[in-house]
């Protein structure tokens, strides 16, 4: 995404960081809205630019590495989720933050969080979908997601889970 930024937004990440530094927004959303309204940047790029501007000393890889420090056993689950989501389309934006990784189309449709040393909480946004024993209410994600799936092993990234992610992706257009 960062490599495509100059072509898609007209500026490099460093140029956007300079613009944001001059404005110094108090809230994340203010920076995102500024980039969208004043510069016509899409939400995915605007969110990534603001996030990476705040995480000045951390690359996206550093952010993910920090999330899985001491939880390396969960990393294959994270990778399996990303591998599945990347097949949905070339408009999937993967945005690492300090404690989570957002999966965005035009809107965020999922959130990956290594919750404990043995579990990833996968937040999914599918409005009006009933909860089940596996597809639970959003719990700690609040309104960012409508549901949560707790994952403790790679085999749980199965066709049912991928179907839920695909449904969320399709509704995020």
Alpha carbon 43 to chain centroid distance? 12
In this structure, how many other beta carbons lie within 10 angstroms of the beta carbon of residue 26?
7
With H, G, I as helix, E, B as strand and everything else as coil, classify residue 98.
Answer: coil
Higher pLDDT, 57 or 141: 141
pLDDT in tens, 62-97: 789 889 999 999 999 999 999 999 999 999 999 988
The pTM assigned to this predicted structure is: 0.68
pLDDT band at 132 (very low <50, low <70, confident <90, very high): very high
pLDDT in tens, 104-130: 998 999 999 999 999 999 999 999 999
* pLDDT (0 to 100) of residue 173: 83
- Crossing angle of the two packed helices 28-39 and 13-23, in degrees rounded to 10: 110
Are 163 and 142 contacting, i.e. CB atoms less than 8 angstroms apart? no
Lowest mean pLDDT among 29-38, 40-49, 54-63, 78-87: 54-63
Are 106 and 98 contacting, i.e. CB atoms less than 8 angstroms apart? no
With H, G, I as helix, E, B as strand and everything else as coil, classify residue 125.
Answer: coil
């Amino acid at each position: 995404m960062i490599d495509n930024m100059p072509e898609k937004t007209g500026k490099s990440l460093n140029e956007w960081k300079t613009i944001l530094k001059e404005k110094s927004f108090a809230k994340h959303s203010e920076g995102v809205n500024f980039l969208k309204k004043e510069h016509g940047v899409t939400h995915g790029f605007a969110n990534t630019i603001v996030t990476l501007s705040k995480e000045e000393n951390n690359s996206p890889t550093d952010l993910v590495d920090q999330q899985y420090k001491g939880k390396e056993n969960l990393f294959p689950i994270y990778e399996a989720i990303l591998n599945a989501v990347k097949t949905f389309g070339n408009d999937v934006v993967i945005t690492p933050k300090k404690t989570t990784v957002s999966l965005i189309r035009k809107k965020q449709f999922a959130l990956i969080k290594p919750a404990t040393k043995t579990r990833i909480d996968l937040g999914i946004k599918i409005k009006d979908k009933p909860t089940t024993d596996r597809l639970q209410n959003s719990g700690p994600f609040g309104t960012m997601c409508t549901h949560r799936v707790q994952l403790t092993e790679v085999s749980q990234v199965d066709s049912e889970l991928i179907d839920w992610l695909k449904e969320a992706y399709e509704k995020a257009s």
